[in-house]
Structure 1
Amino acid sequence: MSDASEEIFDSPVGWVNRHIRSYVDSGGRKGHRHYGWPTLLLTTRGRRSGKLRRSALIYDRDGDSYVVVGSNGGKPEQPAWYLNLSADPRVTVQVGTEIFAAQARDATAEERAGMWERMLVVNPGYADYEKRAGKAGRQIPVVVLERA
């Protein structure tokens, strides 16, 4: 996705930025579990800027793949990271101390229902986000990250 010297811009959201910094600064030894939730770091390429952008996301496993959701707190718009990977699905993922290249894709209709239900177990708060997003006519995307 990038060469090692390319600067990565972390989420500007204060608490997310602090979480990412702890994760990165510790080499993944801290931050993998955040308030009890399993989290990974997802690096996408900005669809307009071309810059690398890093976000921290709650995840679940599906075999060798990782599943994340574009909840954006239930806001009407998709999260920036999701729009970025929609433009370029080649991403970098960090889970704990492991960093690897991955390919992102939307879950198929057949996959989505089961994956969404499992994500609700991981984070029951997604149910409220789903209601809020639904009022705005947005379905929260379920994304599968597969090792490249």
Structure 2
Amino acid sequence: MNHTVTDSPDPSVTEHVRRYLASGGRDGYLEGGTTNLVITTVGRRTGLRRRTGLFFGRDGDRLVLVASGSVPGRPELPQWYRNLLVTPEADVQVRAEYFPVRARVAHGAEYQRLWQLMLAQAPVYRHYARLAVQPIPVVVLERIEEQQ
């Protein structure tokens, strides 16, 4: 497996991720008014590991992401989301804890409940939703228990 990781093409995201990783999340966990994590996905076309920082919420022991992208109203969905649709297994760092997860897209009543949870946590999503050309996906990350 290729262990090389490519960071976001957005220099501000790359800088945030590097601060987060260098400090074990002490610098960058609370940024943009909410909690942040670092996720490493597998590129759907290249197979390369791709890393980015994202806002997240908690639903019990699950993590919740909103696939709004960094450009509100942009018609395409973010790369990390499109990567997870092809390879739902990823690695996440929350503060200093690093663990594997499996992603799935929320639907129906679960989607509505989690969307409201994320709106309450990060009101910026209201603005994104007004500009969106389609409903903004909500992604649930569930920890993959390591085999002993």
**Deviation, structure 1 residue 25:** 1.5
Are 1:147 and 2:143 matched, yes or no? yes
Residue of structure 1 in register with 2:63 after alignment: 66
Could you tell me which of 45, 48, 62 is aligned with 1:48? Answer: 45
Structure 2 unaligned residues grouped into runs of 5+: none
Secondary structure of 1:93's match?
strand
> Counterpart amino acid of 2:79?
A
User: Within 2, Cα distance between the matches of 1:119 and 1:103?
Assistant: 19
User: Within 2, Cα distance between the matches of 1:20 and 1:59?
Assistant: 14
User: Within 1, Cα distance between the matches of 2:83 and 2:32?
Assistant: 27
Deviates more, 1:70-79 or 1:83-92: 70-79
Structure 1 unaligned residues grouped into runs of 5+: none
> Counterpart amino acid of 1:22?
R
Percent sequence identity over aligned pairs: 44
TM-score by length of structure 2 reads 0.91
Secondary structure of 1:54's match?
strand
Residue of structure 2 in register with 1:20 after alignment: 17
Residue of structure 2 in register with 1:116 after alignment: 115
Runs of 4+ in 1 over 6 A off after TM superposition: none
TM-score by length of structure 1 reads 0.91
Residue of structure 1 in register with 2:8 after alignment: 11
RMSD: 1.2
Give the count of matched residue pairs: 142
